[in-house]
Amino acid sequence: MLKDAKRIVVKVGTSTLTYGTGKTNVRRMRRLAEVLSDLQNSGMQIALVTSGAIGIGAVKLGLKERPHDTPGRQAAATVGQCELMFMYDKLFGEYGHIVGQLLITRSDIDNGERRENLINSFEKLFEYGAIPIINENDSVAVEEIVYGDNDNLSAHVARLIKADALIILSDIDGLFSANPCEDENAVLIPVVENIDDEIISAAGPSGSSLGTGGMATKITAAKLATQSGIDTVVMNGANPEDIYRLLEGRQTGTLFKAAKRGE
Ligand code: GLU
C-alpha cells in the first residue's frame, strides 16, 4: 500500500526516544535518523513529528517525574526541546541532512491565515531539501499541553502537507484485538479498513508515564488522517529499520487504510 508514498510524516513518541531512565536512547535516535536520511536520499520527503520535550527536559532538570503542573511542564519542555533538536541536528547532520524546527500550536492550524503561513514554511523547507521536525509548542501553548498530544498533531501535519502516508512509531507492535499486556489471546490487527466502534474499544485507554498518548489517541489520529485520504500505520519504533519493510509493502504494524475520496 505504502510502496508509492513519496511524502511521509513519521511520528515518534517519548517511549521510543527514551530509555526507562527517561534519558535519550541515543542508539535508537541514531538509527531513526539514519533510516529517515536514507529515505530522503532516495527521493522521498520526510517530516518528523517528535515528542519527548517534556519527558527529556524533566530528566535533564533532575525532576523525579514528569511535572503535573502546567508551568512545570512548560519549563521542562523548553529544556527538553533544546536537547531534542541538538540531537536531531547532530544526527541528521552526520548523514548530510539539514533539519528545521517547527513548533506548532493548535491555533496555528485552526486559524486560516496562520495555517497558510505554516504550509508555506513546510513547502519551502521541502523545496530546500530540509527535513522539518515538528513538536507542539509546549512552552507557550497551555491548552496544547493539557489537551494536546503529538499523535493528533502528526495527523494534522499530514493533512497540512498533503502527505501520502503517516507512520506512527510506538512502543507497541500495532493495534491488538485487546490489550496484549492483559490478555494473552490478544492478536495484532494487520489492516483496518474502517475505524468503527469495535476498533475504538480495542484501543482502550493507555499511555506510558513519560508520554501522553496511548493507543486511543493513535486511533483518533488515524481517523483524522485516513478521512483525508492518508494511509496511516501504527508500528513499533524499537527497530527503525522496520520502516523499510513497511515501504517495501511487507506487513508491518497496523495499516489503517485511507478512505477513498468522497467516502
Ligand atoms: N509535546 C509533548 C512533548 O514533546 C509530547 C506530547 C505527547 O506525548 O504526545 O513532550
Nearest CA to 88 out of 166, 32, 152 is that of 32
Percent of the chain with pLDDT over 70: 93
CA–centroid distance, 263 to ligand 1, in Å, is 32
Measured distance CA(249)–CA(52) in Å, rounded: 29
pLDDT at res. 210: 42
Domain with 195 in it: 7-256
Total domain count for the chain?
A: 1
Q: Could you read off the pLDDT of 139-175 as tens digits, one per residue?
A: 887 765 555 689 999 999 999 999 999 999 999 999 9
Does 172 contact ligand 1 (Cβ within 6 A)?
Answer: no
Q: Is the pLDDT of residue 186 over 50?
A: yes
Instruction: Decide: 221 in ligand 1 pocket, CB within 6 A.
Output: no
- Does residue 196 lie within any of the structural domains? yes
Whether the predicted pLDDT of 120 surpasses 80 = yes
Q: Is residue 262 scored above 90 in pLDDT?
A: no
- For residue 48, tell me if it sits in a domain: yes
Best mutation site among 212, 218, 219, 220 for ligand 1, i.e. most ligand atoms within 8 A of its Cβ?
212
Q: Which residues contact 38 (CB under 8 A, 6 or more apart)?
A: 95
- What pLDDT is stored for residue 194 in this prediction? 92
Please, are residues 164 and 46 in contact by the beta-carbon 8 Å criterion?
no
Q: β-pairing, 45-50 with 131-136? A: parallel
Per the rule left: phi > 0, alpha: psi between -120 and 50, beta: everything else, 23 is: beta
Is a pLDDT exceeding 90 seen at residue 34? yes
Q: Does residue 2 form part of some domain?
A: no
What are the pLDDT digits (tens) for 130-148?
999 999 998 887 765 555 6
Atom 2 of ligand 1 has which residue's CA nearest to it? 51
Q: What pLDDT does residue 197 have?
A: 87
Residue 10 has pLDDT above 70, yes or no: yes
pLDDT over threshold 60, residue 213: no
Instruction: Give the per-residue pLDDT at 145.
Output: 55
- The residues pairing with 134 across neighbouring beta strands, listed in sequence order, are 49, 102
User: Is 204 inside a domain boundary?
Assistant: yes
pLDDT for position 195: 92
CA distances from 119 to 12, 104, 258 (A): 21, 12, 22
pLDDT at 148: 67
pLDDT band at 23 (very low <50, low <70, confident <90, very high): very high
Q: Does 26 reside within a domain?
A: yes
Q: Rounded to an integer, what distance in angstroms lies between the CA atom of residue 201 and that of residue 164?
A: 27
Average pLDDT on 210-215 reads 58
Q: What is the CATH number of the domain that holds 177?
A: 3.40.1160.10
Predicted pLDDT of residue 130: 98
Which pLDDT value is given to residue 11? Answer: 98
Instruction: Give the number of other CB atoms < 10 A from CB of residue 89.
Output: 17
Q: Which pLDDT score is estimated for 208?
A: 45
Q: Is residue 262 part of a domain?
A: no
pTM metric for this prediction = 0.94
In a domain, 66, yes or no: yes
pLDDT in tens, 68-105: 998 999 999 999 999 999 999 999 999 999 999 999 98
Residue 16 beta carbon below 6 angstroms from any ligand 1 atom: no
Is the pLDDT confidence value at 231 over 70?
A: yes
